[in-house]
């Protein structure tokens, strides 16, 4: 098979050097030549912060998609898709300090566009464009951020998000409670049980800042500093607030008394309700009342054990207006000596250059996050706002956890989905290899929805057929014996049992598919196939 590779010119990201107009072709006859020879040399690699996906990695990722998609459908979600790039003005001003991470594209025919940073702002634009008053939607797609990559931790510049959102006017905190349930179901369904969902409320947080003396125009700046408490000690965050954000030390100290509080929803609420500073703050009181309602609803859904009311959670995105949350695990935090490792990594690159991969000194971070954003749709529809709340699962970060957990089990998983391999045994005068017959039997299995293959060879010896079946990861072999098949009989042999002496079960051609379906079901444990069990950690 000849592989043809085309190289087209691409539009550079604004502010980055343009690629060569034409890349020279690599010389023939040089094996493993990753660099072309010519006036314009280039390194043959994926862009920084991206990777090719193949083999067993794709099996894991597809299983994650399948598990989350089934969950979203169970909760009544309908799926949509939106363009991978949006008009730049749609994305501008929605992400706070993170706006610097947006990939801006060059002017194309009079339109300034940018690659989408998340799936939430495009969803809000979609709701406004289509005058939608209520919808439960899910969306699985790639997003792009010019962030510092940490590839083995799932922190990338191109990555998938799996979003589930509810838009519409409903009774207070009802959709929020269900979204939290979707979050917990999604992670436990993927075998991740050692997580904690940190909750906070923007109205409470904003009320705390106001009560402590933060000016209205400084609230978001102070909020972004507090949001770093999961990575930095309070002393470092206080320094940022006082030195970089120009807050008086007494204001920072008051804030520190609040943002160190965490516990169950009711435990933290009991402390907030009796706090003198917040008793007269309207914003904080509204948030407290909403959290009291939420406490009852999460009890009803049985997910309260996974939740922690943590006043240090701020979520830097500007569009959040109410409940905010993120799920973390033991892998989320950076290593204890992260600063030392970071400095060591910086010394290994030229001054002014960025470290290629930050995996050694960062953690996985949050593996899912979201919140309520009641005003975002209104930004696109002349103030006609539609309340929204949602959750986004970070697939690559979840993938990194599952792959690390299931490293040993992956050895026994095939990257193919083949269940049955169709073979033919025979020989002697007049033997033609039963190629047409193998095709016919394979086609019969396909029509019954059974994943099947056969060897693309007219006459294949027995060993090569078994080797091909093993490579494909097939569970069963259907064997067309020269004498038996002429009598309308075939054999079904279970593969991978290490018993070459077992000739398998002889069945009629009419009963073949039913016998195969029965045997495949018997090979599954508790009704779950090997990949599903691996993903769930069973």
Burial bucket for residue 288 (CB in 10 Å: 0-12, 13-18, 19+) = buried
Q: What angle do CA 372, 375, 381 make, to 5 degrees?
A: 135
Return the DSSP state at 17. P
CB 394 within 8 A of CB 368: yes
176 is known to lie in a ligand binding site: no
Phi, psi for residue 498 in degrees, rounded to 5: 70, 20
145 is known to lie in a ligand binding site: yes
Rounded to whole angstroms, the Cα distance separating 395 from 80 reads: 18
161 is known to lie in a ligand binding site: yes
Q: What ranges make up the beta strands (E) of 85-144?
A: 85-87, 113-115, 135-144
118 is known to lie in a ligand binding site: yes
Distances from the Cα of 160 to the Cα of 65, 72, 96, 390, 395, angstroms? 10, 16, 21, 16, 6
Distances from the Cα of 327 to the Cα of 64, 364, 428, angstroms? 17, 11, 65
DSSP-H helix ranges across 279-394 = 282-301, 338-347
Here the tokens at position 386 are 């539609």
Partner residues linked to 63 by β-bridges: none
Rounded to whole angstroms, the Cα distance separating 315 from 223 reads: 8
CB 91 within 8 A of CB 319: no
CB 365 within 8 A of CB 332: yes
Helix (H) or strand (E) holding 331: none
Count Cβ atoms below 10 Å from residue 379 Cβ, excluding itself: 18
315 is known to lie in a ligand binding site: yes
CB 8 within 8 A of CB 19: no
CB 372 within 8 A of CB 389: yes
Q: Alpha carbon 419 to chain centroid distance? A: 27
Rounded to whole angstroms, the Cα distance separating 99 from 270 reads: 37
CB 183 within 8 A of CB 370: yes
Residue length of the chain:
538
Count Cβ atoms below 10 Å from residue 458 Cβ, excluding itself: 11
Count Cβ atoms below 10 Å from residue 382 Cβ, excluding itself: 8
Q: What ranges make up the beta strands (E) of 297-376?
A: 307-310, 323-328, 368-372
Distances from the Cα of 419 to the Cα of 260, 450, 453, 456, angstroms? 54, 7, 8, 17
Which value, in Å, is the radius of gyration of the alpha carbons in the chain? Answer: 29
319 is known to lie in a ligand binding site: yes
**Binding site members for L-histidine:** 118-120, 145, 161, 165, 315, 319-320
**Binding site members:** 118-120, 145, 161, 165, 315, 319-320
């Amino acid at each position: 098979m000849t592989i043809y590779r085309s190289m087209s010119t691409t539009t550079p990201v604004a502010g980055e050097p343009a690629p060569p107009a034409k890349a020279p072709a690599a010389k023939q006859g040089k094996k493993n030549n990753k660099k072309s020879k010519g006036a314009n040399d280039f390194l043959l690699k994926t862009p920084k912060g991206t990777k090719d996906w193949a083999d067993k990695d794709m099996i894991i990722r597809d299983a994650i998609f399948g598990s989350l998609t089934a969950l979203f459908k169970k909760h009544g979600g309908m799926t949509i898709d939106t363009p991978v790039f949006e008009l730049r003005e749609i994305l501008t001003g929605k992400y706070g300090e993170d706006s610097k991470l947006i990939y801006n594209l060059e002017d194309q025919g009079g339109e300034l566009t940018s690659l989408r940073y998340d799936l939430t702002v495009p969803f809000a634009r979609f709701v406004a464009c289509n005058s939608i008053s209520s919808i439960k939607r899910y969306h699985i797609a790639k997003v792009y951020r010019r962030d510092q990559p940490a590839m083995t931790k799932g922190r990338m510049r191109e990555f998938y998000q799996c979003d589930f959102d509810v838009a519409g006017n409903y009774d207070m905190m009802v959709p929020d409670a269900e979204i939290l349930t979707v979050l917990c179901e999604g992670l436990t369904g993927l075998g991740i049980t050692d997580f904690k969902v940190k909750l906070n409320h923007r109205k409470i947080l904003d009320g705390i800042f106001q009560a402590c003396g933060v000016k209205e125009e400084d609230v978001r700046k102070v909020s972004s500093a507090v949001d770093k408490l999961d990575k930095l000690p309070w002393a470092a965050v206080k320094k940022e607030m006082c030195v970089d954000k120009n807050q008086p030390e007494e204001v920072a100290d008051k804030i520190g008394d609040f943002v160190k509080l965490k516990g169950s929803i009711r435990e933290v609420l009991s402390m907030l309700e009796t706090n003198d500073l917040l008793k007269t703050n309207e914003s904080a009181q509204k948030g407290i009342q909403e959290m009291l309602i939420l406490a009852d609803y999460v009890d009803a859904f049985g997910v309260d054990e996974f939740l922690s009311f943590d006043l240090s959670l701020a979520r830097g995105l500007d569009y959040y207006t109410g409940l905010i949350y993120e799920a973390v695990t033991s892998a989320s935090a950076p290593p204890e000596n992260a600063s030392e490792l970071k400095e060591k990594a910086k010394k290994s690159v030229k001054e002014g250059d960025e470290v290629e991969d930050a995996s050694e000194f960062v953690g996985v971070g949050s593996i899912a996050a979201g919140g309520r954003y009641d005003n975002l749709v209104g930004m696109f529809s002349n103030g006609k706002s539609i309340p929204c709340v949602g959750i986004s699962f970070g697939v690559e970060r979840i993938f990194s956890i599952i792959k690390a957990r299931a490293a040993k089990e992956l050895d026994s998983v095939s990257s193919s989905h083949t269940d049955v391999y169709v073979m033919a045994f025979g020989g002697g005068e007049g033997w033609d290899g039963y190629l047409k017959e193998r095709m016919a039997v394979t086609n019969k299995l396909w029509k019954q929805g059974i994943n099947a293959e056969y060897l693309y060879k007219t006459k294949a010896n027995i060993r090569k057929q078994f080797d091909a079946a093993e490579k494909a990861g097939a569970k069963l072999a259907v064997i067309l014996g020269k004498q038996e098949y002429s009598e309308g009989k075939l054999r079904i042999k279970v593969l991978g049992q290490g018993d070459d002496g077992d000739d398998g079960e002889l069945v009629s051609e009419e009963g073949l598919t039913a016998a195969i379906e029965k045997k495949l079901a018997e090979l599954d444990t508790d009704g779950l196939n090997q990949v599903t069990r691996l993903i769930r950690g069973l």
